[in-house]
Amino acid sequence: MIEFIRGVPLITVLFMANVMFPLFVPEGWRPDPLLRVLVGVALFFSAYMAETVRGGLQAIPRGQYEAAQALGLSYWQMMVKIILPQALKIVIPGIVNNFIGLLKDTTLVAIVNIFDFLKVIEAALNNPVWRLSQMPFAGYLFAAIVYFILCYGMARYSMSVEKRLATDHRH
């Protein structure tokens, strides 16, 4: 299932959630379009996140699993107390990369007529009360600055978390 979702573009998932899904369910069972889009985006990015975590789990040496089993830990105790903390520390950059991608890809919901940050700016630019004749693209400049600040902030926070959790002896 993960490979299927990862093999399909997000636009296709959004289109299927918003246009095709209502065709296959009875009239009274149709959830709100926003909910359908949110579920589609969540499924799409959870597939990417699952692959990121899987890569971290594969990076853990086999000896860690064997040591946990030698201590008599159950599977879930082993995963929660020993394996996952190490794996998640390894994949912090990948997780943050997924979140930055998610933030930037939220603009694609405009394709299925859901208002996002850029759609609100477009609506404001089309409103004569808010329109700036001197600089018609001030809204887009503002959006670019906001997206840059958010992405840069997430990347810097990721670096600080990585530095705080570093257990190696490199300086």
Q: Are 78 and 68 in contact (CB under 8 A)?
A: yes
Question: Please, what is the Cα angle at 5 between 16 and 65, to 5 degrees?
Answer: 155
Query: What are the pLDDT digits (tens) for 17-43?
Result: 988 998 898 888 888 889 999 999 999
Calculate the alpha carbon distances from 10 to 15, 39, 67 in Å.
Answer: 9, 12, 41
* CA atoms of 171 and 168, how far apart (whole Å): 9
In this prediction, residue 170 carries a pLDDT of: 52
Q: Residue 133 has what pLDDT?
A: 61
In the predicted structure, residue 126 carries a pLDDT above the cut 60: yes
Is residue 171's pLDDT more than 70? Answer: no
| Whole-angstrom distance, CA of residue 28 vs CA of residue 96 | 39
* d(C-alpha 45, C-alpha 152), whole Å: 20
User: Residue range 121-143: average pLDDT?
Assistant: 77
Contact status, residue 67 vs residue 40, Cβ threshold 8 Å:
no
Closest Cα partner for 10 from 77, 108, 107?
108
Residue 159 vs residues 91, 156, 163, 166: alpha-carbon distances, Å: 12, 5, 6, 10
Domains and CATH numbers, the chain: 2-165 (1.10.3720.10)
Position 111 confidence tier, pLDDT thresholds 50, 70, 90: confident
* Residue 120 in this model has a pLDDT that exceeds 50: yes
**pLDDT score, position 136:** 65
Of 161, 157, 52, the closest CA to residue 98 belongs to: 52
